[in-house]
Homo-oligomer: A and B are copies of this chain.
């Protein structure tokens, strides 16, 4: 294996299939991709230079149509593992019994809500159910604007919060095709590698950034509704430390009457291996938290959690009925996920095996000029690739190359960060110590391609 195996991806297709290479694929795959283009149109993307046709999943393993097994180090939605029997059984039983909406009284949603809320700080006392993280963030921002009477939104410059018109307007990672709202300001991500240089602490830098954003909003006559951040900065490039850096931002936001929304759609449900929710590692309490992806292990369910005082006026004046949000089957899946995380000690597992992976990757990257940093918490791990250590210039092509080399080695990962230069490792949570060994061996081979 040498660097010639790392093919140069076109920028637009970094970390995804380039349609111009359709002819290089096996005939059956070509045919299905043509059918896909024909029916689904041009907005759909596929993973990898050579896309995967997946037909089965079990635990942390996916299988393609030829029976090849792939170690899944990417999918956070099947949080308790692909095809988990407890989730399957819970959904099956509920499907046979009842699947209806929240305008009837149902015991199961009450029980689940109470258990879910007990994992949050006591200040967060109400939960409202949606189907997707996008809907949860959309609702969170609607409530934030309503409760504060303000319109201004502050996000990090590589943030992704979802795909509704509103949420896309404060998701800069969608690129220039999706303009930011006139009420949106961005601050630097908490890039602990590239900051601080000689200009004070990361916390001071972030505080200054958010102060400038607030001042600019005010200069435009716009008050601050909310600062919203993914607690582990999944899209910005996985920034985990030093824990506590969010504190000063939240102080500044609260000082001008804005709210802090913790987007837990990716880090939530114990993935960070430290606590149920990513914001907890920063020692702060959000005004609103949003949760989603892993919540139902693939059954669509998401939610926004509020300080009850924020909903008093909103709830009086605005009815919110989400047809599928928190329906009987969604709740059954969510309850099973909650139970399995506890019973299988998956948070502890994320902590233990996550540490092993992080330590292993740090060892592997010793002396590699292109691996600038290995960082992470539990099962959310980033590997920051650069052209060289002296300039720390992000190297998205190297990352895309490694993602594709690993895919050929039947290990599924992805990349993130504004330049696509941060390898993103984010396996289902039953990922074992043996799985970590297989991953580390393959990463070792892939890193060799960088030398």
Residues of A within 8 A of B (CB): 16, 29, 32-33, 35-36, 38-47, 51-57, 62, 75, 77-78, 82-83, 87-88, 91-92, 95-107, 109-110, 113-114, 117, 125-128, 131-135, 138-139, 141-142, 163-166, 168, 174-175, 177-178, 292-293, 297-301, 306, 308, 311-312, 314-325, 327-330
Contact = CB atoms under 8 A, between A and B. Distances in A.
Contact of A299 (B78, B306, B329): B329
B53 A106 contact: yes
Contacts of A174: 318-319
A319 B328 CA distance: 32
Contact of A135 (B57, B114, B134, B317): B134
A9 to B, nearest CB: 15
B45 A105 contact: no
B166 A329 contact: no
Contact of A83 (B39, B77, B96): B96
A56 B97 contact: yes
Contacts of A138: 164-165
A289 to B, nearest CB: 14
A302 to B, nearest CB: 9
B77 A316 contact: no
Copies of this chain, count: 2
Of residues A16, A32, A44, A299, which shows the largest number of chain B Cβ atoms within 10 Å of its Cβ? A44
A127 B300 contact: no
Given A40-B127, A82-B100, A91-B95, 13 more contacts: A32-B107, A33-B105, A35-B114, A36-B110, A39-B117, A41-B125, A45-B319, A45-B321, A75-B100, A77-B323, A91-B91, A99-B297, A177-B317
Of residues A52, A306, A312, which shows the largest number of chain B Cβ atoms within 10 Å of its Cβ? A52
Contact of A98 (B82, B97, B99, B319): B82
A166 B163 contact: no
A36 B329 CA distance: 18
Contact of A40 (B78, B128, B319): B128
A324 to B, nearest CB: 4
A319 to B, nearest CB: 6
| A-B interface, 10 closest residue pairs, ranked by CB to CB distance from nearest | A42-B315, A41-B126, A177-B317, A165-B166, A39-B113, A99-B298, A300-B324, A300-B300, A53-B105, A43-B315
B54 A293 contact: no
A421 B429 CA distance: 52
Contacts of A110: 32, 35-36, 39
Contacts of A175: 319
A447 B96 CA distance: 36
18 contacts: A32-B107, A41-B125, A41-B315, A42-B314, A42-B316, A53-B104, A54-B98, A54-B105, A55-B98, A57-B97, A75-B101, A78-B99, A78-B100, A82-B98, A175-B319, A299-B300, A300-B300, A300-B324
A91 to B, nearest CB: 6
A177 B125 CA distance: 23
B165 A322 contact: no
A143 B421 CA distance: 30
Contacts of A298: 99-100, 324, 327-329
B329 A106 contact: no
A62 B100 contact: yes
Nearest to A143: B43
Contacts of A33: 105
Contacts of A300: 131, 299-301, 324, 327, 330
Contacts of A297: 99
Nearest to A75: B100
Contacts of A46: 103-105
Contacts of A52: 104-105
Contact of A128 (B29, B41, B57): B41
Nearest to A126: B41
Contacts of A141: 165
A330 B329 CA distance: 12
Contacts of A319: 43, 45, 174-175
A12 to B, nearest CB: 9
Contact of A54 (B106, B133, B321): B106
